[in-house]
Amino acid sequence: MKNFFSLIPILLVIFVSGQINAQCPTAITLCSQDSVDAFPSTYPGCRDLFALRINALNCDGKPNDIVNLDSLYPLESVVFLTLQSSSMIRDISGLSNVRKVYQANITAQKFWRTPLSLDTLNSLTVYFPNDTTYDLKLLSGIKFVSNEMYFHGNVSFTPQLQYITDGKINIGIVDNDISNKISNVIPKNMLETSISIDLNNTQNIDLDFGYKIDSIYSIGLTNSSNNDFSALKEIKKIEKFRITFSNDIEKLKGFKCEEIGTLNIGWCNAVIKIMEILPNLKKITDGVSFFYNKNLETIDALDNLELPSKIANPNEEDIIRGIYYISMFNNPKLNTCNSDYLCRAFKRFGDSIYVGNNLKDCNDELLQKECDLSSVGEADSDGPYKISPNPVTDILTISPPLPNGTLYRVINLLGNTMKSGEMYDCISLGELPSGHYIIMVDKPDVQQPPQVIKIVKL
């Protein structure tokens, strides 16, 4: 199955060559019933399209009068299918010969009761009508999905979908407040470490997979705190955990998770107490971000955690784009001045963390402060480095000297490596053009992320 989706560029070449013989366009937008009815005569022999778009809401500035797709019966393959139909389209059986689609974006109508013919997809997004009771019979023919399925609107998750996958898959549920079971829409052969759950403005979902899970790839909650999280609270490891736009976190309290890759909490009006949400948390391996939380007052719960330790994240492109290991900003009640976690973070990561615009920040003081390492067992081998001069015209000096074998890269704001090599106590930068640069310092035999230094070259 994966081979079909990995050959999209080759398929495009095949489609283009087939168009010459079959008078078939690469992509087409149908704007009227006449254009649908004329498809077989306008494009005789056309069976394969790279992109088919039917936009019945507004197409070329004219009202769309499409009521059926019967004349599209010759089509057998569409890579990108967009069916944003109005209530006028009552019959889509003309697409019954199309089985495999790489990406489908479909706005369903209440008149459609026959299951879609699609059985193999990479990505599927369906918008269900809110003016009627709808279920998943429309999708009951799906047998394989390789990447993601998004359900928009108040759809009942019945009958249970019977499909499989072969990799990581994202299940997204948007604008749904019907009581549903997540187990009815996850693949039948899914490993929990490869699944992502993304809830947006959604409530009343029972998030029990139907079997015990110890880890999950991702949980994303956007204004979706009123769900049954009982089963997910037993998980020991979450690779990515995101909570945003939450006004009530009562049902989010008590996750037993011990390890998180990345933790993001933002734009929440609820009173946020990290210890109440994650009382057993021991480690955040990749990064943490708290931003625009109206009632976040303390991050003391992080003081007993080790700092992020995965060297590969973020890379120099992330730093240039303003993505940091640790970021805490625009939290109007948060005082970061007494955070031992940030004290250690400033010393280790330097400019690769961002703290600012909170109630009270003491970044310079934390950089100079002696941190308490006893609770986390971290060695104080990453003390703050002093660089001078900055701005620099030629020789940049760093103290104390770095261990033998320390590597560095000087990167411009376009992400290009301008200079690299081994450094001890200084670097010659005289040959570089004037501008802003980032120096990535990677010490040998230290399993920690590279230190980031920002400089200005005159």
Our CA angle for 440, 441, 446, nearest 5°, is: 130
pLDDT of amino acid 445: 62
DSSP 385-422: PEEE-SSBSSEEEEESPPPTT-EEEEEETTS-EEEEEE
* Lowest pLDDT segment from 99-103, 229-233, 350-354, 396-400: 350-354
pLDDT band for position 372 (50/70/90)?
low
pLDDT band for position 448 (50/70/90)?
low
pLDDT of amino acid 91: 82
Give the pair of three-digit tokens for residue 332: 């109007």
CA atoms of 250 and 110, how far apart (whole Å): 36
pLDDT of amino acid 223: 97
317 pLDDT exceeds 50? no
pLDDT of amino acid 115: 85
Give the pair of three-digit tokens for residue 428: 């010659």
Three-state DSSP at 284 gives strand
Rg (CA), the chain: 27
Give me the mean pLDDT over the 288-317 stretch: 79
1 pLDDT exceeds 80? no
- Burial, 181: exposed, middle or buried (Cβ in 10 Å; 0-12, 13-18, 19+)? middle
pLDDT of amino acid 332: 97
pLDDT of amino acid 211: 84
- Say which amino acid occupies 255: F
Q: Answer for the pair 100, 124: CB distance below 8 angstroms, yes or no.
A: no
Neighbours of 407 (CB within 10 A): 15
Which domains does the chain carry? Answer: 236-384 (3.80.20), 386-457 (2.60.40)
321 pLDDT exceeds 50? no
The more confident residue out of 20 and 91 is 91
If we measure between CA atoms, which residue out of 253, 150, 130, 213 comes closest to residue 139?
150
If we measure between CA atoms, which residue out of 259, 265, 197, 262 comes closest to residue 231?
197
User: For residue 232, which phi and psi values (nearest 5 degrees)?
Assistant: -65, -25
Give the list of residues 6+ apart from residue 351 with CB closer than 8 angstroms, or none. Answer: 319, 438, 452, 453, 454
177 pLDDT exceeds 90? yes
Share of the chain above pLDDT 70, in %: 84
pLDDT in tens, 52-91: 988 765 566 666 788 889 999 999 989 999 987 666 788 8
Q: 150 pairs with which residues across the strands?
A: 125, 172
If we measure between CA atoms, which residue out of 414, 410, 436 comes closest to residue 423?
410
Report cis status (omega within 30 of 0) of the bond before 25: no
pLDDT of amino acid 124: 96
Share of the chain above pLDDT 90, in %: 48
Give me the mean pLDDT over the 424-435 stretch: 88
CA atoms of 375 and 366, how far apart (whole Å): 18
Give me the mean pLDDT over the 279-304 stretch: 93
Q: Answer for the pair 442, 450: CB distance below 8 angstroms, yes or no.
A: yes
Distances (CA, A) of 339 to 272, 305, 360, 365, 371: 16, 12, 11, 11, 9
pLDDT band for position 172 (50/70/90)?
very high
* Lowest pLDDT segment from 24-38, 147-161, 237-251, 437-451: 437-451
318 pLDDT exceeds 60? no
pLDDT band for position 11 (50/70/90)?
very low
- Say which amino acid occupies 147: N
The more confident residue out of 110 and 225 is 225
Tokens 């809401």 correspond to 57
pLDDT of amino acid 233: 95
pLDDT in tens, 246-275: 999 999 999 999 999 999 999 999 999 999
CA atoms of 289 and 365, how far apart (whole Å): 21
The mean of the pLDDT values for the chain is 84
pLDDT of amino acid 319: 43
- Say which amino acid occupies 90: R
pLDDT in tens, 377-408: 454 444 556 778 888 899 888 877 877 778 88
Q: Answer for the pair 50, 12: CB distance below 8 angstroms, yes or no.
A: yes
**Helices and strands counted in the chain (H then E):** 8, 25
Give the list of residues 6+ apart from residue 416 with CB closer than 8 angstroms, or none. Answer: none
CA atoms of 283 and 179, how far apart (whole Å): 34
Q: Answer for the pair 437, 418: CB distance below 8 angstroms, yes or no.
A: yes
Give the list of residues 6+ apart from residue 271 with CB closer than 8 angstroms, or none. Answer: 249, 295
